Amino acid sequence: MTPPNSATGPLHGPAASTGQADEDGHRLTDRPETTYASAGVDVEAGDRAVELMKSAVAATHNANVVGGVGGFAGMFDVSFLKDYDRPLLASSTDGVGTKVAIAQQMNIHDTIGWDLVGMVVDDIIVGGAKPMFMTDYIACGKLVPERIADIVRGIAEACREADVALVGGETAEHPGLLGEDEYDVAGAATGVVEAADMLGAQKVQTGDVLIGLPASGLHSNGYSLVRRIIADADWDLHARVDEFGRTLGEELLVPTRVYTGQLLELLENQPGAVHAMSHVTGGGLSANMARVLPAGSIGIMRRSTWEVPPVFSVLGDLGGVPQADRERTWNMGVGMVLVVDADRVDDVLGSFRGSWILGEVAEDTGKHSSDSFYVTGAKGVDGGAAILLD
């Protein structure tokens, strides 16, 4: 079929007539143009978003970044890897789950990027690896440049905090799949560690001490439970909650703490002190602790060693959430756990304000195996066990 526009030149206006007939002889009159914009994708808005975020992204770049913003792929010079005896690359990818729904309801978008970076790079540091660079992906129903720029600025700020270069990203409009005010975010990062310095179960010993690092709040896990609780209670996100000292929505949007920068300093200044780390994300404290311990050992953690922040008790009590479900779903105020050489505990505690002795690693004699809070085989890892005791 001959394109209706081929002989008469470009059409003008949304209701311009082709003045031609289709192959069946039907006259094609008053047919509007179908453009990418009319299908719901605004390319110019994407360009405006890039201009708004460009300086924030560029601020994360270091001497290893090759090229600038806008390339088809981010380039990173890894010539320094020649100095490693056996460099291991570490990679991680994640999102922030349904926490984005709270951000959309509150129309606050500059913190969700911190959540994304924390969820990705703090998984990489667990193995002792230094995250080098990161990319992000944002899917939205309608590209609003200011909103996208807010999200990316948050990502860039958190990357600077973790000393990670944000080398690329993608924003995609999905009209008809996502609502105009809906979006989702994802990211991926790559890091490197010398094989001999890799942290993990292979370095953990009976008698090692568990040190807890405080969470900033809920971080980015368990929001499906959170949203169900507040929906059932018909709570207004804009209502002030005395226990929080701010609105419910503001409390729920407190960004994930990014530990990577401080942990890199610790590993450099106190070599050999840390044997393993556990990033407390989906599955809660015990499940994530068990994945970094060797078979035959148990991480014993004591609830009496820290004060659970109000957000967990307020939401848990409001929803009548059983204690086991709270601890399987939320971090309960413990965002990261370090497995530390017993002789180096003071060195590590002095490096983190607010850190405390959470428990210890012991031989798993089976004494606690019948306890409902005993966890082993978490996340498919055939490793150790963990338990929370009073």
Which pLDDT score, from 0 to 100, does residue 34 have?
73
Considering the chain, what is the average pLDDT of its residues? 90
Which pLDDT score, from 0 to 100, does residue 68 have?
74
Task: Look up residue 206 and give its two tokens.
Answer: 């009976």
d(CA 51, CA 137): 17
Task: Look up residue 70 and give its two tokens.
Answer: 């806008």
Which pLDDT score, from 0 to 100, does residue 28 have?
54
- pLDDT tier at 3 (50, 70, 90 boundaries)? very low
**Statement: residue 320 has pLDDT above 70:** yes
Of 5-9, 68-72, 114-118, 292-296, least confident by mean pLDDT is 5-9
pLDDT in tens, 269-304: 999 999 999 999 989 999 999 999 999 999 999 999
Of 69-78, 157-166, 327-336, least confident by mean pLDDT is 69-78
Q: Which amino acid is at 63?
A: A
Sheet with 183-194, edge to edge strand ranges: 87-95, 183-194, 130-140, 165-173
- pLDDT tier at 325 (50, 70, 90 boundaries)? very high
Q: Which amino acid is at 61?
A: H
Which pLDDT score, from 0 to 100, does residue 57 have?
84
pLDDT in tens, 224-235: 999 999 999 999
Task: Look up residue 158 and give its two tokens.
Answer: 């958190």
Report the SS3 class of residue 51. helix
d(CA 329, CA 313): 13
Which pLDDT score, from 0 to 100, does residue 354 have?
94
Tell me phi and psi for residue 212, to 5 degrees. -90, 140
- Give the burial class of 138: count Cβ atoms within 10 A of its Cβ; 0-12 exposed, 13-18 middle, 19 or more buried: buried
Torsion 247-249-252-255 (CA) sign: negative
Running DSSP on this structure, what letter comes out for residue 65?
A: E
Which pLDDT score, from 0 to 100, does residue 19 have?
46
Of 30-34, 206-210, 238-242, 318-322, least confident by mean pLDDT is 30-34
Q: What is the mean pLDDT of residues 57-85?
A: 89
Which pLDDT score, from 0 to 100, does residue 20 have?
55
**pTM for this structure?**
0.88
- pLDDT tier at 11 (50, 70, 90 boundaries)? very low
Longest distance between any two alpha carbons in the chain, whole Å: 89
pLDDT top residue among 323 and 3 = 323
- pLDDT tier at 153 (50, 70, 90 boundaries)? very high
Q: Which amino acid is at 238?
A: H
- Give the burial class of 317: count Cβ atoms within 10 A of its Cβ; 0-12 exposed, 13-18 middle, 19 or more buried: exposed
Which pLDDT score, from 0 to 100, does residue 369 have?
87
- Give the burial class of 13: count Cβ atoms within 10 A of its Cβ; 0-12 exposed, 13-18 middle, 19 or more buried: exposed
Task: Look up residue 231 and give its two tokens.
Answer: 């929906």
pLDDT in tens, 337-382: 999 999 999 999 999 999 999 999 999 999 998 898 999 987 788 8
d(CA 20, CA 33): 14
> What contacts 135, CB < 8 A, 6 or more positions away?
74, 166, 167, 168, 169, 170, 187, 188, 189
Which pLDDT score, from 0 to 100, does residue 17 have?
36
Task: Look up residue 307 and give its two tokens.
Answer: 């004060």
